[in-house]
């Protein structure tokens, strides 16, 4: 089972504490033990690898069609500036943000190539300044980018490559552990609300342990890197446990009136919505506060209509 939040009143654990759990190093942040990975050495090459990986990850979790090549930056900007329709302009802004991010990574690739050839590039170099400007503008525009579900923007994802560019890698790793702990807390909160809500009908009793299982594996999915050998056990379990929730069908009691039948069906839909939201948070590894707030409202409305 995944390590649970530390709730002991007698022993206070400091953030940044590291210990082995199930033969794997874990680090403690804000109530959660999180799988620990040693930061790479502080080099431009290591920064480039991180920025490349984080940029790909950002595009993977956001809406389609915005991964604009860096060499299309001027076209993306002209299109954005010319568009007048608000909805279309938002999409143009997202495409421009994508072009800026890709241009920044293109420039940083050039910087690393020069460094590897023995040409020292300082922070006040024109290439470095241009890279920083592109990252900053992309981050400003990232509020226009939606999660691939359309639920909300997750501009925190866009901030991660910027953090790697502007801060030491070890500090970036620390910031990631804090975000992962916040994501885990959201997963717990959503799961608890879902169980509390569905427990008002006995026909959902069999779903409650399935929710518990999914919460635990979702937190493991949240903390593990794909390069970790353990990922080949975590991901299949994560997918399979999620499928069990999606496939769950509450048995409507014999003799139930039409209102109760509709209410139970809405509960089944709520179960699937909760599963999807937990999955999204586990995958992006950052909180989704807007989506969480809306889901908790749905749970509250469901309980109120049951009463």
Query: What would the DSSP string read from start to end of 63-110?
Result: -TT----GGGHHHHHHHHHH--SHHHHHHHHHHHHHHHHHHHHHHHHH
Yes or no: say if 221 and 282 are a contact pair by the CB < 8 Å rule.
Answer: yes
The pLDDT of residue 5: 46
Instruction: Look at the block and give the residue holding tokens 């900053």.
Output: 136
Reported as a single tens digit per residue, the pLDDT across 152-203 is 777 777 888 888 888 999 999 999 999 999 999 999 999 999 999 999 999 9
- Residues 255, 243: Cα–Cα separation, whole Å: 29
Under DSSP, the state recorded for 177 is H
| Cβ burial, residue 9 (10 Å; 0-12/13-18/19+) | exposed
Nearest to 175 by CA among 148, 156, 191: 156
Mean pLDDT (whole number) for 63-87: 95
CA distances from 5 to 2, 13, 118 (A): 9, 11, 48
C-beta separation of 219 from 190 below 8 A = no
Alpha-carbon gap, residue 212 to 293, rounded angstroms: 21
The yes-or-no verdict on residue 260 having pLDDT over 60 is yes
Chain-centre distance for alpha carbon 75: 30
Which residues, other chains included, contact 110 with Cβ-Cβ below 8 Å and sequence gap of 6+?
A: 127
- Yes or no: say if 216 and 224 are a contact pair by the CB < 8 Å rule: no
What are 272-302's pLDDT values in tens digits?
999 999 999 999 999 999 999 999 999 999 9
Whole-number Cα distances in Å, 204 to 177, 197, 265, 270 = 34, 10, 11, 12
SS3 content of the chain, % helix, strand, coil (to 5): 65, 5, 30
For residue range 9-59, what is the model confidence (pLDDT) as tens digits? 456 889 999 999 989 999 999 999 999 999 999 998 899 899 988 888 889
């Amino acid at each position: 089972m995944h390590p649970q939040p530390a709730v002991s009143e007698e022993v206070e654990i400091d953030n940044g504490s590291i210990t082995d759990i199930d033969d794997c190093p874990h680090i403690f942040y804000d109530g959660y033990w999180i799988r620990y990975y040693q930061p790479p050495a502080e080099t431009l090459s290591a920064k480039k690898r991180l920025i490349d990986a984080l940029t790909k990850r950002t595009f993977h979790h956001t809406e389609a069609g915005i991964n604009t090549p860096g060499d299309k930056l001027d076209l993306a900007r002209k299109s954005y500036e010319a568009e007048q329709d608000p909805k279309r302009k938002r999409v143009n802004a997202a495409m421009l943000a994508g072009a800026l991010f890709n241009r920044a990574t293109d420039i940083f690739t050039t910087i690393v190539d020069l460094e590897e050839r023995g040409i020292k590039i300082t922070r006040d170099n024109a290439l470095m300044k241009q890279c920083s400007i592109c990252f900053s503008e992309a981050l400003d525009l990232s509020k226009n980018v939606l999660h691939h579900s359309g639920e909300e923007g997750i501009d925190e994802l866009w901030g991660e490559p910027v953090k790697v560019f502007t801060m030491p890698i070890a500090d970036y790793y620390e910031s990631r552990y804090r975000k992962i702990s916040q994501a885990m807390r959201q997963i717990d909160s959503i799961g608890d609300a879902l169980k509390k809500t569905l427990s008002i009908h006995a026909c959902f009793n069999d779903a409650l342990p399935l929710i518990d299982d999914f919460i635990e594996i979702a937190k493991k999915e949240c903390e593990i890197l794909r390069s970790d050998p353990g990922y080949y056990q975590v991901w299949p379990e994560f997918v399979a446990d999620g499928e069990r929730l999606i496939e769950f069908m509450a048995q409507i009691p014999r003799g139930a009136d039409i209102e109760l039948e509709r209410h139970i069906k809405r509960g089944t839909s709520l179960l699937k919505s909760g599963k999807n939201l937990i999955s999204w948070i586990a995958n992006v590894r950052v909180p989704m506060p807007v989506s969480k707030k809306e889901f908790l409202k749905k749970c509250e409305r469901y309980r109120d209509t049951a009463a």
